[in-house]
Structure 1
Amino acid sequence: MYEPIRTKSVHTVAAESVDFPHRTREEELDIQLAGHLAALLTVTDELRQLPSRDEELDAAAEELAAQVARLRGGHPPVRAAVAAADPASQAVALHRRAHALAGRALVVAASRADTAAAILAARRMEYHAGAQRLVSA
């Protein structure tokens, strides 16, 4: 009545199957954290293009790039030139997005006990929360 199973089960113990690469929890967290910080770097670069640009954004961009490179084994992040159509009207949205990305990075950094990345993410959250209030006022 039923067709016999002809393939191996996918529910095998990882030690038995060496068909695909396995990553540790720490490696997965490194990948997640690098992704969140790279996204935050992209938004920071967009904010740096605004006419009312803050000098702190330049230093933050360099710190973010250094952390991403550290997490990616020394490979620097790809950075593209940003050309915003109407950057002044996007400032609040960019700060809001940057705040959310910094929050995600903080959660992952705390999970993997990466103090340097957690401090950087927390500082970025504070900055963007304050910037949202200033821009929207």
Structure 2
Amino acid sequence: MDITYTTERNFTKDDVRELFSSVGWVSANYPKRLLAALMGSSMVFTAWKGVHLAGLVRVLDDGSMTAYVHYVLVDPEYQGHGIAGHLMSMVKDHYKDYLYVEVMPEESRNASFYQQHGFSIMQDGIAMQTVNDNFAD
């Protein structure tokens, strides 16, 4: 499969809305904020099939020691072709001089994917969040 990978943020609000919708993420309902969040992120690694945004990884970092992989997603139409793995390799290469690269999968079924890419489950670690019920685009 002919996929182009980049860290350039040349995606549009419609591109990200379509990608996030393809995997059923609620973030797709807030395309304006989603685009702003991606533009304000430390790094965004993307995969393109022609002009179609096929996958994306968002990373937040402190500029020195720790980077957090916030999410990894690939349009179901393009899953199974190694896109997410390639994007994770780009993340690990970019952050090779950091002490920690961390990820907190929201679904335990995704843990094996991260383990395949060198991540290990943190002893006594747990993901937590609060949700703002008044959030709007």
User: So what's the TM-score if we normalise by structure 1?
Assistant: 0.27
When you count helix as a share of all residues, which structure comes out higher? 1
By percentage of residues, which structure has more strand? 2
Q: With CA pairs under 8 Å and 6+ residues apart, which has the higher RCO, 1 or 2?
A: 1
Normalised to the residue count of structure 2, the TM-score between the two structures is 0.27
